[in-house]
Structure 1
Amino acid sequence: MTEVLDATDSQTAMIADLVGSLRAVEETIARLFAVRDGMLAVASRVAIDIARRAAHPDHGDIALRAVAAEIGAAVRVSDRTIERRMDEASWTVERFVEVWAAQGAGRISAAHARVIVDAGAHLDDPADRARYAARAVEAAVVESPNRLRRVARRIAEQYQARTVTERHRDARELRRVWVKDLDDGMAELGMLGPAVLVHGIHDRLTRMARTITRQGAQAAKASKAMNGDRGPAIESPADAPTPRTTDQLRADLLADIALTGAPAGHDTETGLLGEIRARVEVTVPVLTLMDDDTGGHNGGSRTGAPPAELDGRSPIDTDTARHLAGQATGWERVLTHPITGALLAIDRYRPTDQLTRHLRARDQRCRFPGCNIAARRCDIDHTHAASSGGETCADNLAHLCRRHHMLKHHSRWRVHHRQPGDLAWTSPTGTTYIDHPPEQNTVRFTDSV
């Protein structure tokens, strides 16, 4: 890290020039991708027009294939890939013209555009779709694509004609499990199911895997202590345990549980793994719990309250949210401003560490610009180091993932707090980037027009 800390003024200036040049290159790439989409959309439209004029019975399928094959041969790309690109380009150019225009102007990247289009794909009303696209583009200008995904979903949810509960009831009918055969004697097991259950499964497997890893490390330490001066225990290669990654342990545990009904092949004598239960975090406005869940926009809520959200990622149906609320052993109550929706405070009926809960509710994810690692997987860091007199308070603490926590301490990146909850990051080149806390999933009251 000392190489970055000891950079000369000329090296710092060179980095600044490179950053500016790369930004210009990215804007140019975005414009070129938009130009390509426009050409592909025109090619698709011409193919359809040819088929329509000739009254082709396949409604243009062969004409599209023929044009895609011509383009594919010219640019040395599979005609199937070209046909897929033509379809995606037509969808963007014709249904999300605001997004296409923003990309063409270099304001957003192709990745931003794809996130916006995917999140609003089910909006059928042109006026609602245009309003959604305009708001999503403004969010995309200041957010990375991975952060934009949750923001775009929230915005799109406000223009859904049907409630999330109604859509979830239909979507549940599509739940399934499938197998895809792969090479080398491997296969892939997939599952489509309610988000709460799928995330709960993943969380339980992860915590089981970490418990096994922790127990292995403790056992190795204890074995080393018992051997003392006799040196390390002699262990044959055949008996030596093979280290497993968290991904490998999750896969092994899932197979163990699915085949035996319990993780019998991994559990301890005391049944420690069997006691681990799935855990998810759900935020739900109290008015959503009280609402009769009938109506139009804003997820269909009669009161205008947004739907419940799973881990700040995606909306979940109100029936599931109410069931989880009724079964919860503890509540974290998030108090928000009735007009701005900003986080005011958080408390709990069964108090634990109130400040930690407040920070998690405020930050929701890593506070470095563009990072979307969930807060529960991050470190809580003193912006002004405690060793230098920094206070342990909300105005001096923020969640940072391990990568950006180390970047803050071992590079020339600097950060300080701004009100309310904003973090100002200054790069080694002197450029300042502002990271705002995510909007709270709450109700806002405004004057009627």
Structure 2
Amino acid sequence: MTNLYFAPGDDDEHRLPLDPPGTRGESQSNSFFADHIEHQMFYGPMKKLADELFSAGPLTDPGEGLVRLQKIQKMYSMLDAASSVIMADSVELVAQVVAEDAVAKPYLESEQERRERLSANYYAVDRASDQIITSNFIAEAAIALRVTSEKARARMFTAKGLRHVCPRTLLALAAGQITPSAARSIVKNSQDLSTEQIELMEHQLLPVAATASDDTISQRARRFHDRSSPEAASARHEKAADARKVTSWDMDDGMGAIKLVAPIVNVRSILNTLDYEASQHKDPEDARTKAQLMADIFCDALINGWPTTNGTPLKPRVVVTIPALQMVANPKYAMADLEGYGPIPMGTAMQVAKDAPSIIPMLTDPFSGAVMDVGRKRYKPTRVLKEFLRARDQHCCYPGCRRTADNSEVDHVEAWETGGHTNRENTELLCKQHQMFKHALGWRVTNRPDGSKCWRTPHGLNSLVIPGSVENVERFEHVHNRCPERRVASPADLRRVLGIPDLGDGDLSIRVERPAIIDGNTEAAGSGLDHPGQGAAPDERPAGMQGS
């Protein structure tokens, strides 16, 4: 059984026998009549099924319920086929428009287009390349589908495969004869095969896929691919070894997971080593299971160093926000916030704080939790601004992006060269990839009065992003130009209990850090500014942060 957490994400459309963009006839209009016939083929049966389900009335018989489930499953297949056609045809249309613009108006660009062209040169991207066009459209499709870019990219891979490589599979899917999962398995295993081999695979698998389970089709497609692929097993292994990597994801209850993709010999060696070390642990007072021991040994080896060594010189930078007033008011239910993850138990946060070399006070909105200001005694103004953005945004501000503050940079919402200021109202955290989208690929972002940001894609979709520090969005006004109301600040006596001076409206949180130690030097977090040619940021304090 496939573990979804460990499902490989190595699909590559360049391994499919695709024609060059602009020459894929399936996505190009032949005639109004032909286009109308194709439209009816994809949407006519779907409309008929929907009408049948609508006219059937309330359910009264379990047998009829199963029949309706079959019809709904067919509709899922039909919808998947239709969305695949739309995605493949849309990105092909973008490629055609870009190619025509490059010929028709090379000297008629606006000032904004000129800046985007210069930015594209800075980022070393060719906006007319198939890779950039596809990546940019996938980002827009992710917003339209409300999924991550990774999921949208996987859907685009399947869409191009169905539309241009596996036409019989697309027709079977549109007719509701096979499931979307079976269709994806056939496209996935078409990589590295010739057109003739793909036709043979469809001929063998599609009759089986009409009734067999998805797992059966996946296994049969993989076996066909392994038998038919012209590459030797050793060559495939060598290519796969180039994709070795370590990734991670968040889990519930304050836990996380690490995924290592490496040659099987290395993976087995690591597991055998952990197994041996755990089996040598003979302490009768230790109640940990073997699995728990192996996990603890693995963490100790990477963080503190293998036993009898001095440990790794790289210490992790961990940032935790502890809501001081919540902790005093109701310590049993108070939760701290781990940067890049979210809520963690207060006990864990206090353990981090116990050994923290620095504590930074932060003023937060008591209702929404949004960071309003940070202390500035330890840093120059530009450093204060970076710390403020780390606390307010927490991660890249592009829709759906979760790259951490450490992997993002300070970016101007309104460009520096057009008059944008370096202050908290005009800055945000953006990762390198989405800086390129904003500066070179036609994406726009504007600040909203409530602190959110509105992103507009090159083809007109809008997406709203709320700062990562905001927990309560009940009163956020995305439509009206006014800020959310704030509740009355906490009583002054709580501030006196905590020994905190009156900082005005707002709650107070305490942020603790473990800075990274590199070669014996403490490196504070934060990075440079965003855009080429804008120069160094002036020594300018963000609004509301002047004074001692």
Give TM class, smaller chain. 0.3 to 0.5
Determine which structure has greater relative contact order: mean sequence separation of CA pairs < 8 Å that are 6+ residues apart, divided by chain length.
Answer: 2
- Please identify which structure carries the higher helix content: 1
Larger Rg: 2
Question: What TM-score results when the alignment is normalised by the length of structure 1?
Answer: 0.42
